[in-house]
Chains A and B, each alone.
Chain A
Amino acid sequence: MDKHNCYHCGDNCGSAVIRFEEKDFCCNGCKTVYEIFSSNDLSYYYDIQQNAGAIPKEIEGTYDFLDTTEIIDKLTEFNDGDLQITNLFIPHVHCSSCIWILENLNKLNPFINNSQVDFPKKTVRITYNSNKTSLKAIVNLLARIGYEPNISLDDFDNVKKTTDRSLIYKLGIAGFAFGNIMFLSFPDYLDLSSSNSSGGEFWLNEYKAIFRWLMFTFSLPVVFYAGADYFISAYKGLRSKLLNIDVPIALGILVLFVRSTLEIIFDWGPGFFDSLTGLVFFLLLGKFFQQKTYSFLSFERDYKSYFPIAITRISKTGKEESVQVYEIKKGDRLLIRNQEIIPVDGVLISDSARIDYSFVTGESEPVKKISGDKLFAGGKQVQGATEMEALKSVSQSYLTQLWSNAVFQSDKSTRFQTLTDSIGKRFTIGVLSIAFIAAVFWLYLDPSKAMNVFTAVLIIACPCAIALASPFTLGNMLRIFGRKQFYLKDTQTIEQLARIDTAIFDKTGTITTVQKSTATYEGMPLTAEEESLLKNTLRASNHPLSRSLYDILSEQNISTPDQYDEYLGKGLEASKGTDHMKIGSADFVGNTEPKISLDTAVHIANNNDYKGKYIFHNQYRKGISHVFKAMEETLNLAILSGDNEGEKLRLEALLPKLTPLYFNQKPKDKLNFIASLQEQGKKVMMVGDGLNDAGALAQAEVGIAISENINVFSPACDGILDASKFTELYTYILASKKAIKIIKLSFMLSLAYNIVGLYFAVTGQLEPVIAAILMPLSSISVVGFTTLMTTILGRKLK
């Protein structure tokens, strides 16, 4: 059989191909989107990029809450009269077709005035006429064409985000002043205005005052605006008794500025304004380079990004109404639709529910709940609609309480001293002692030069190159990792990563894959007819276990069973010919043997004879045991799982001997486990995937979230690693260690330049032109060196 790929989404159509206008579609949803596009002259969508679409989801009623005025207010940027502007995050945006279709939304809804995509952020900003159309209509339209926006509780208390552009302004000002001052100091470089007596150019001497005061004017915004951060950081460092790298930088800038100003006031010389502005410009350039952000990722997510903004409440009179999640009170009756997330702890009212707690507890299979059972916030309903009664408000729920832990309040970066800062301390002490010794020496020899030498040392030793080494090396590594689908929050994470000695892994979703599970069959062999009936019965069921088992079983001809029944929470019953098959839980099929196994299993009986069971296993990622073996040599390893011990034996076989395994770990336990390791002085990396790991990820020195699809949310962390690159994790850690070596080498290089500079300074021969050459030269060679080395390092990475 030929493989048909869907014309819209590119998925394999499987056996049920839908042909429409000579094109193949995998489902009616995709076909509908195609119809919408082609009937509105938008079929160009398929020419830009093939198979760009996504299967639209069932959205019936999901967005009813968008009728509420309060929620519209929260979600719109601008809301006045009949004009509303909203900015929606659409995770599916991934290619040029997406941009094109979203910017042509007005062809589908004429009341949309304008829509503009921000591709890196995956957002679309829509301006529309709110009298003629509504936010709900637009969101429904987007969902219908497969571009469902993501609206979560996070959007609710969204303070209008203003992008911080101050660094660009500062860089612009420093660059502008730097260029103009270079231009104005040309006469001095060529030594044309030395002095009247030594025979300089007459007219340049006449006008040198105006040149110099112009340079002074240009340098003012550089020192007091562009360089202000260095003074602030140095002051903060000194106040907390830390000599960070910004202390010698701030000292250098200050000395440069004061000495240059004095020089032009008393006409001693032209000053060092060019070096001063150049220094600030290069330093800011380093900062700019270091600031690589993945705007479509967020490293700050908490439960709010998972939770819906509103939920359906059933009022006393039995009417359904949308309410904001924060307004839910104890005793409210809530309607949870299929695939919706339970926002508060509560009690189940409906007969049964099947809740997927995978990202709360790490439990891999959905659990069955019956009326009266307690439901915890964060679970996802996966079986039809259900009703529950709220017991707590959102912020008091079991899961959300985790976020009141102190770990989430403190900023990791303040707890960590970077390599540059630790060098900065020794460097500052060294430079200050050289300056004082040289000054004292000159006081004896020629007191008039002592002050000159003292300031010259501080100027030339200003650690511009040292301060640049780390941002450029790590900034480059950050980009290289990004290309390998290992996204880190900031450059500091690389330094932390290079230092870790302990690695803790979550089990479900981290070292196991989410999609595929394997199953083994235990019991009496099935006949060919039975296998065929089994597969065909499963085909009709939407239960997750049925779906997985269906995918695992070998291909069978399609033949619809004569009779088919599905019993919610129990199993399936089907008959064909003489066979009458029951598939499902042990009780349902009549398995009488005592239930001892912790495994997840599907039991099968034919004509009331118990046949056997399919036992599901977690599928571990490929190459797991290999990676763990390699890591074991340098790191302490452990597994923390929220799951039960069912998989213990298999894990022990896969992992290096004596790897500690901990099961039934609650989110709080994980956090405490990491904290206790840290008390023993360990540097811990936590690798996890779900909300249940959020506490541990925040507590660990480096928290890395594994993600099957980087567009889907992952909890707050320091880095996000694409699941396909899991086996490379250890190579990335080793690469970080090498990056730190590169920084150390660049420190040596820049120290060599400093020694040359110090020679001129100590001997009292530091001319502005020497400073103007030496400082950029050292910076540029350090930047060149680190760029070259990191590129070589990046080539070797897979």
Chain B
Amino acid sequence: MSVIYVLLAISITVALFFFIAFIVSVRSGQYDDSYTPSVRMLFEDELVKPPVGEQQSELNQLKEPK
């Protein structure tokens, strides 16, 4: 049954890994602005005028957060 030591060690290591990942992400400022990235990811990369299509109507719905 001493395998339980191994299991506990694994579970705590995994937990600690995610915990550290959380701390690092907070530290790097990821939680400071939780709105802009959600808009940014919808932009097209290229700057030429894209055909008036679906993304546009989606973007039009974006409103200022309250």
Contacts and interface: CB of A to CB of B under 8 A. Distances in A.
A189 interface: no
Contacts of A94: 64
Contacts of A482: 66
B47 A48 contact: no
B47 to A, nearest CB: 5
Contact of A118 (B1, B5, B33, B62): B33
Contact of B65 (A120, A163, A214): A120
Contact of A95 (B19, B31, B62): B62
Contact of B1 (A48, A100, A206): A206
Q: Which of A99, A169, A206, A482 has the most CB of B within 10 A?
A: A99
B6 to A, nearest CB: 12
Contacts of B60: 48-50
Interface in B10-45: 11-12, 15, 19, 22-23, 26-27, 29, 31-36, 39-40, 42-44
Contacts of A479: 66
Nearest to B53: A47
A120 B35 contact: yes
A764 B23 CA distance: 41
Given A207-B4, A210-B5, A172 B19 contact: yes
A136 to B, nearest CB: 26
A483 interface: yes
B49 to A, nearest CB: 6
B33 A214 contact: no
B23 A169 contact: yes
A180 B8 contact: no
Contacts of A103: 40, 43
Contacts of A330: none
Contacts of B31: 165, 168
A43 interface: yes
Interface string A79-103: 0000000000000001110011001
A368 interface: no
A292 to B, nearest CB: 11
A727 interface: no
Given A172-B23, A206-B1, A214 B39 contact: no
B32 to A, nearest CB: 6
Given A165-B26, A165-B31, A96 B19 contact: no
Contacts, number: 90
A90 to B, nearest CB: 13
Given A203-B1, A214-B8, A120 B36 contact: yes
Contacts of A119: 33, 35-36, 39, 65
A172 B22 contact: yes
A206 B31 CA distance: 43
Interface in A94-126: 94-96, 99-100, 103-104, 107, 116-121
B47 A42 contact: yes
Nearest to A482: B66
B26 A99 contact: no
B36 A100 contact: no
Given A47-B52, A48-B59, A118-B33, A96 B39 contact: yes
Given A42-B47, A44-B44, A104-B47, A99 B12 contact: no
Contacts of A183: 11
A50 B59 CA distance: 11
Interface in B46-66: 47-50, 52, 56, 59-60, 62, 64-66
A41 interface: yes
A64 to B, nearest CB: 32
A99 B34 CA distance: 14
Contact of A96 (B5, B29, B48, B59): B59
A121 B65 CA distance: 11
A41 B56 contact: no
Given A94-B64, A95-B62, A118-B33, A176 B15 contact: yes
Contacts of B33: 118-121
Contact of A207 (B1, B12, B29): B1
Interface in A161-181: 163, 165, 168-169, 172-173, 176, 179-180
Contact of B40 (A49, A99, A176, A203): A99
Contacts of A100: 43
Report the interface size class on chain A.
35 or more
Nearest to A46: B49
A214 B23 CA distance: 21
Interface string A477-494: 001001100000000000
Contacts of A43: 49
B56 A48 contact: yes
Nearest to A484: B66
A94 B52 CA distance: 22
A483 B63 CA distance: 13
Contacts of B39: 96, 99, 119
Contact of A44 (B40, B49, B65): B49
A50 B60 CA distance: 8
A482 B27 CA distance: 28
Nearest to A163: B32
Nearest to B62: A96
A280 to B, nearest CB: 16
Contacts of A96: 39, 42-43, 59, 62
A96 to B, nearest CB: 5
Contacts of A99: 36, 39-40, 43
A50 B64 CA distance: 14
A172 B56 CA distance: 38
A327 B12 CA distance: 60
A176 B1 contact: no
Contact of B15 (A121, A169, A172, A180): A180
B52 to A, nearest CB: 7
A41 B44 CA distance: 13
A22 B60 CA distance: 23
A34 to B, nearest CB: 14
Contacts of B66: 479, 482-483
A103 B33 CA distance: 15
Interface string A15-32: 000000000000000000
A180 B40 CA distance: 36
Given A120-B35, A207-B1, A180 B52 contact: no
A44 B36 contact: no
Contacts of A203: 1, 4
Contacts of A176: 15, 19, 22
A213 to B, nearest CB: 11
B56 to A, nearest CB: 6
A172 B26 contact: yes
Contacts of A116: 36
Contacts of B36: 99, 116-120
A172 B39 CA distance: 26
A56 to B, nearest CB: 22
Interface string A25-66: 000000000000000011110011110000000000000000
B43 A180 contact: no
Nearest 6 pairs between A and B by C-beta? A119-B36, A118-B33, A483-B66, A203-B1, A96-B62, A41-B47
25 contacts: A41-B48, A44-B48, A48-B56, A49-B59, A96-B43, A99-B39, A99-B43, A100-B43, A104-B47, A107-B47, A118-B32, A118-B33, A119-B35, A120-B65, A121-B33, A165-B31, A172-B26, A176-B15, A176-B19, A180-B12, A180-B15, A210-B4, A210-B5, A210-B8, A483-B66
Given A119-B35, A482-B66, 5 more contacts: A96-B43, A120-B35, A172-B22, A172-B23, A207-B1
Interface of B: 1, 4-5, 8, 11-12, 15, 19, 22-23, 26-27, 29, 31-36, 39-40, 42-44, 47-50, 52, 56, 59-60, 62, 64-66
